[in-house]
Amino acid sequence: MPDGILRLATWNVNSIRTRLNRVLDWLVRANVDVLAMQETKCSDAQFPTLPLFELGYEVAHVGFNQWNGVAIASRVGIDDVQIGFDGQPTWSNKPEVAATAEARALGATCGGVRVWSLYVPNGRALDDPHYAYKLDWLAALKDTAQGWLRADPGAQIALVGDWNIAPTDEDVWSTEFYTGATHVSEPERKAFNAIVDAQFSDLVRPFTPGPGIYTYWDYTQLRFPKRQGMRIDFILGSPTLAGRVLDAQIVREERKGKAPSDHAPLFVDLRDGLVTQPVETL
């Protein structure tokens, strides 16, 4: 990769301890500068910081147990680490347990870019309390992110990760299969588009257009070889960041092989420095 290019990637690794060797190998082969990870599925004490450090990456992670967990690994610096965003909703599925903010959002400044690794709640079912929690979570993220740009219209912000939403019908292999399910409901899509309307554009889609381009394939029913997937992982960028994008890819090949995650990584290449007029993206 030429000098002056920053490669920012995101990957739902579905257990970092299970996929560590795959992650380390891909970081080297893909020459990634910053990697946001989701579903690390471990506590902070269990996170494998040392192997990443040995490759030249600093790490920030938040995880409390075997569920959720988000991380950022950077070889271009990692500053101003923040666990959770302002206004992030809390959750508890047991009346006797106090609601707390889950390990679903982690922010850090890496190479001048404010990166947020996000693992949006799944929603589970349309009549499940987790679905309402998901919508509240997205609304709070939109309000907070909008405030960031209001305070600094030129801020370089990347909202990246597993959004658990397929924003358009093209983003699922079968609309009939997902009828009445989460991830494709109108309220979820509206919540996603509200963030886009708040000036956080999809930086990957212009380089990976068309139906059948997915980031997630369930392990069951041979979904991957049948190309029955969903596009639910995204890199959304502020206007100034969008103006720096040179290329973007969904790395489908990483869904292959031994013990893969059920998600593929995706990345954007950013030119060095700022531009005066943001480039319009879809």
In-domain check, residue 223: yes
For the whole prediction, is pTM greater than 0.85? yes
Identify the pLDDT of residue 93: 83
In-domain check, residue 276: no
Q: Is 170 annotated as a binding residue?
A: no
In-domain check, residue 280: no
119 as an active site residue: the answer is yes
* Options 61, 131, 133, 162, the catalytic residue: 162
Mean pLDDT by 10 residues, the chain (282 residues): 87 98 98 98 98 98 95 98 98 89 98 98 97 98 98 98 98 97 98 98 97 97 97 98 98 97 98 54 36
Cα 67 to Cα 8, 57, 70: the distances in Å are 25, 24, 10
CATH no. for residue 69?
3.60.10.10
Identify the pLDDT of residue 224: 98
In-domain check, residue 282: no
Q: Is 80 annotated as a binding residue?
A: no
* Options 119, 131, 133, 214, the catalytic residue: 119
Q: Is 263 annotated as a binding residue?
A: yes
Q: How many structural domains comprise the chain? A: 1
In-domain check, residue 159: yes
Q: Is 183 annotated as a binding residue?
A: no
Residue 188 has which token pair? 């979820």
In-domain check, residue 279: no
Structural domain harbouring 23: 5-271
Identify the pLDDT of residue 273: 66
61 as an active site residue: the answer is no
Identify the pLDDT of residue 35: 99
**Cα separation, 205 vs 173, whole angstroms:** 17
Identity of the amino acid at 29: R
* Options 171, 202, 263, 269, the catalytic residue: 263
162 as an active site residue: the answer is yes
In-domain check, residue 102: yes
